Structure 1
Amino acid sequence: MDEEFERHCSELVARERSGHTAVVESSLLYVWGGYMSIAEDEVFLPSDEIWVYDLEGGTWRVFHMEGEVPPSMSGTCGSSLDGHLYIFGGCDDNGQTNQIYCVDLTDGKYTWRKIMHEFGSAPSPRDKLSCWVHGGRLIYFGGYGHKLLTDVDSRNRSFIIDETSWVEDVFWGWNNEVHVFDPAQSTWSEPKIQGRAPAPRAAHASATLGCRGYVCGGRVMETRTSDIHCLNLESWAWSEIVPDSSIPVGRSWHTLTAVSDTALFLFGGLSVDCKPMSDGWLLDTETKKWTEFEHPFKNKPRLWHTACPGKDSDVIVFGGSCDYILLVDTGHCNDALVFQMQPYPLFRICEDYIAKDVRNSEKLRNQLPLLPPKLQKAVQKRMSFYRPSKKPNLS
């Protein structure tokens, strides 16, 4: 792994941002929403544009979006299911929302559709929540938001009131609720949960492995934790994983990504002492052991970024902040960092070797037309990826 894994080598580059949504579909990274800092103002990014990064060619494109376009916001929860991007919740100029929108990423039209549910009740407005995708359904957990006084039950610890934020009969706070949305039926439901649930939280990280949803750390009232819990997405039973080794420090605004059938990769976040983090950790869910992961981006702390699983178990981290985001003029980022989690297949090693060296070898350039058309096209795309970087155009 070397500095060439930092992918920002096209003339057009997505704007820097934090609190955005990103998913990967067919070697394309889709980025939507979030906010950036301009002077002393925090400005939401336009909601009618989606940025697309070609992970093989190393180029950015931006597309105009139409239809029932959602408001510009940050902290929304984005998920990919059957080639569609679903977003739920988030915070716009009017505060937290509980609306859900969908856009097809495969037809090239990028037309938003606001989903009106047929049955059940939508969760209360919230942001900084997480989602597991399983069995064709979207399963949402936690977040920070508001409820009416009539909806707050002091005996029910699924919602903890933020004592610093309330207006008349409206209370803000953290929750540990589990809500299920079925896109095929357009229905909301709340499963009957078993076991001891994690404490209510927001700005945590989550990932799905098989039929299990994992949640790690986050903001729990006035603290940041590193605890990890598992929810069986079929029996709806919670269990806590107690590591038998050293553990990462408590944090929020980090990411957790599945990188194998049994391993989760944690990266970055904001520590308990408000320090932006750049450390990486691997959790073996079978042995319950954390292992610190060495990587080339130790000088690139990130929080409120996104992390997506890519080709060959890569993890693609995009955007986020390198500073404490409550500071004025926060240092938002727009680079994509690719973490190599597993040894690459021989074909990818050969393809990358040719793509990197063909510009320096006349012999390789002369032999390129001899390749089969499909392979020649793939190599030419990788050549574009490894061409010398140009100054980003952020206008």
Structure 2
Amino acid sequence: MFSKHWVFSKTHGYSSQTSPMDSAIAKHSPELVAGERSGHTAVVEGNFLYVWGGYVSIAAAEVFLPNDEVWYYDLERGVWEMGKMSGEVPPPMSGTCGCSLNGDMYIFGGCNDNGQTNQLYCVNLLDGKYSWRKVNHKSGSTPSPRDKLSCWVFNGRLIYFAGYGHKQLDDIRNNRSFLMDEASTLRVDDIYWGWNNEVHMFDPTSASWSEPHTSGRAPDPRAAHASATLGHKGYVCGGRIRESRTSDIHCLDLESWTWSEIVPASTVPMGRSWHTLTAVSDSTLFLFGGLGIDCEPMSDGWAFDVETKKWRALEHPYMNKPRLWHTACQGKDSDVIVFGGSCDYILLVDTGHCNDALVFQIQPYPLFRICEDYIAKNVKNCKLLQKQLPCMPPKLMSAVQRRMSFF
């Protein structure tokens, strides 16, 4: 049960309507806010949610968001800012797979005006420069072009799973890891589109790609699924397999490279794609939203206990806010921050994209968090708190001042 919740939403705006900045970082203002989008990348680093890329629907056309901007949301103050990006900037894209490692945000794959890509890019989020670099590998083979894939981060390595993309005919003969899309009638130079269930690993230290040999029964080839890392295990849930959407859940041991399917001991969520799965404790995963088997956007939330193998439906305050192709990141105190996505079936002409950040409280807050939130929320209307505010310990005073702007 959710004991508390917030939603941050302001009138949508796009960076092209803001004034250019001489510095890399734009000053924040109440009017500055990340634009509506779907299929974007988002990561949490420190106390900030960083958002890059994605697309919106304008006049029945899909328009990619600017590729030289990174938006970041202060999770304590509730304020958006925008940073201008430089360097080897990736093309505008949607469907990329993003993750963070040691202060760097990596994006791999995605779809741009030229179709799916298999390029890997990296940008440091902590130095304030936001300079992209294209990551060139020194050994191994790059995965084939794809989008709508997922990633686990483990032992300093990036491990990618599945996705939708294309391969040469010679690469798919007798290949059980690739499921051809029969609906894709375009054939150019013996290129075929479809889903895969491949596992590829990139080691940033050695700049090397490898394809670990896995054992056990791998999940069916899929895309638009959700994944999360718990300890030394990577979890996969649902996604699109040809014309169907599923809610099956699989686990890959990232040390032994052994696949296992988890058979739930309870009622399971409806099959879906374009949903999210977020680790919120040592044994719990949080599932939210997605596109259901009836092609309806969903707003339900579920907790899965990997030890008991049980799903549990969760009550939450956002049942009227369906989301698909959104992002979800773990924040402070196991909060889950859902940003953007679509509230409509994305193949409709008038797709409703979103730009609000939904903050889910999954676990009970520690006493310090409870105190700072209570004071920050009530200090303006309580004369007693106003008098006592200057007497607070410096650490609490600083935290309260940051939180006051949120409330």
TM surpasses 0.5 = yes
In 2: Cα distance, 1:294 partner to 1:374 partner: 34
In 1: Cα distance, 2:120 partner to 2:5 partner: 38
Q: Which amino acid aligns with 1:8?
A: S
| Secondary structure, aligned partner of 1:354 | helix
* Residue correspondence of structure 1 range 67-78 to structure 2 within 5 A: 67-78=87-98
Question: What residue number does 2:396 align with?
Answer: 375
In 2: Cα distance, 1:258 partner to 1:203 partner: 18
In 2: Cα distance, 1:255 partner to 1:195 partner: 25
Instruction: Note the alpha carbon deviations across 1:287-341, whole angstroms, 9 max, x for none.
Output: 1110001111000000000000011111000000000000012100000001100
| Secondary structure, aligned partner of 1:264 | strand
| Secondary structure, aligned partner of 1:378 | helix
* Residue correspondence of structure 1 range 55-94 to structure 2 within 5 A: 55-94=75-114
Contact 2:162/2:197 (8 A) holds in 1: yes
Given the alignment of the two structures, is residue 48 of structure 1 paired with residue 49 of structure 2, yes or no? Answer: no
Question: What residue number does 1:341 align with?
Answer: 362
Question: What residue number does 2:322 align with?
Answer: 301
Instruction: Give 1:151 shift.
Output: 1.2
Instruction: Give 1:366 shift.
Output: 2.6
* Residue correspondence of structure 1 range 272-283 to structure 2 within 5 A: 272-283=293-304
The two structures, once aligned, show a CA RMSD in angstroms of: 1.1
Count of residue pairs the alignment pairs up: 385
Given the alignment of the two structures, is residue 104 of structure 1 paired with residue 105 of structure 2, yes or no? Answer: no
In 1: Cα distance, 2:368 partner to 2:66 partner: 39
Contact 1:133/1:139 (8 A) holds in 2: yes
Q: Comparing both chains, which one has the higher relative contact order based on Cα–Cα distances under 8 Å and sequence gaps of 6 or more?
A: 1
In 1: Cα distance, 2:94 partner to 2:249 partner: 25
Q: Which amino acid aligns with 1:7?
A: F
In 1: Cα distance, 2:114 partner to 2:337 partner: 31
Instruction: Give 1:367 shift.
Output: 2.2
In 1: Cα distance, 2:364 partner to 2:53 partner: 33
Instruction: Note the alpha carbon deviations across 1:276-295, whole angstroms, 9 max, x for none.
Output: 00000111101111000111
List gaps (5 residues or longer) in structure 1.
387-395
Contact 1:2/1:296 (8 A) holds in 2: no
1:292 maps to which of 307, 313, 317: 313
Instruction: Note the alpha carbon deviations across 1:70-94, whole angstroms, 9 max, x for none.
Output: 0000000000111110000000000
Instruction: Give 1:13 shift.
Output: 1.3
Q: Which amino acid aligns with 1:336?
A: A
Contact 2:5/2:360 (8 A) holds in 1: no
In 2: Cα distance, 1:268 partner to 1:258 partner: 15
List gaps (5 residues or longer) in structure 2.
11-29
* Residue correspondence of structure 1 range 20-59 to structure 2 within 5 A: 20-59=40-79
Question: What residue number does 1:391 align with?
Answer: none
Contact 1:254/1:269 (8 A) holds in 2: yes
| Secondary structure, aligned partner of 1:142 | strand
Instruction: Give 1:365 shift.
Output: 1.8
In 2: Cα distance, 1:177 partner to 1:40 partner: 34
Instruction: Give 1:7 shift.
Output: 2.0
Q: Which amino acid aligns with 2:57?
A: S
| Secondary structure, aligned partner of 2:183 | strand
Question: What residue number does 1:250 align with?
Answer: 271
Q: Which amino acid aligns with 2:146?
A: R
| Secondary structure, aligned partner of 1:176 | strand
Given the alignment of the two structures, is residue 118 of structure 1 paired with residue 118 of structure 2, yes or no? Answer: no
Instruction: Give 1:373 shift.
Output: 3.0
In 2: Cα distance, 1:351 partner to 1:19 partner: 34
Instruction: Give 1:3 shift.
Output: 8.1
Q: Which amino acid aligns with 2:371?
A: C
Given the alignment of the two structures, is residue 353 of structure 1 paired with residue 397 of structure 2, yes or no? Answer: no
Instruction: Give 1:370 shift.
Output: 1.9
| Secondary structure, aligned partner of 1:184 | coil
Question: What residue number does 1:200 align with?
Answer: 221
2:210 maps to which of 189, 201, 206: 189
Instruction: Give 1:2 shift.
Output: 7.6
Contact 1:8/1:58 (8 A) holds in 2: no
In 1: Cα distance, 2:383 partner to 2:36 partner: 38
Question: What residue number does 1:8 align with?
Answer: 9
Question: What residue number does 2:231 align with?
Answer: 210
Question: What residue number does 1:362 align with?
Answer: 383
Contact 2:292/2:298 (8 A) holds in 1: yes
| Secondary structure, aligned partner of 2:127 | coil
Question: What residue number does 2:175 align with?
Answer: 156
In 1: Cα distance, 2:5 partner to 2:259 partner: 41
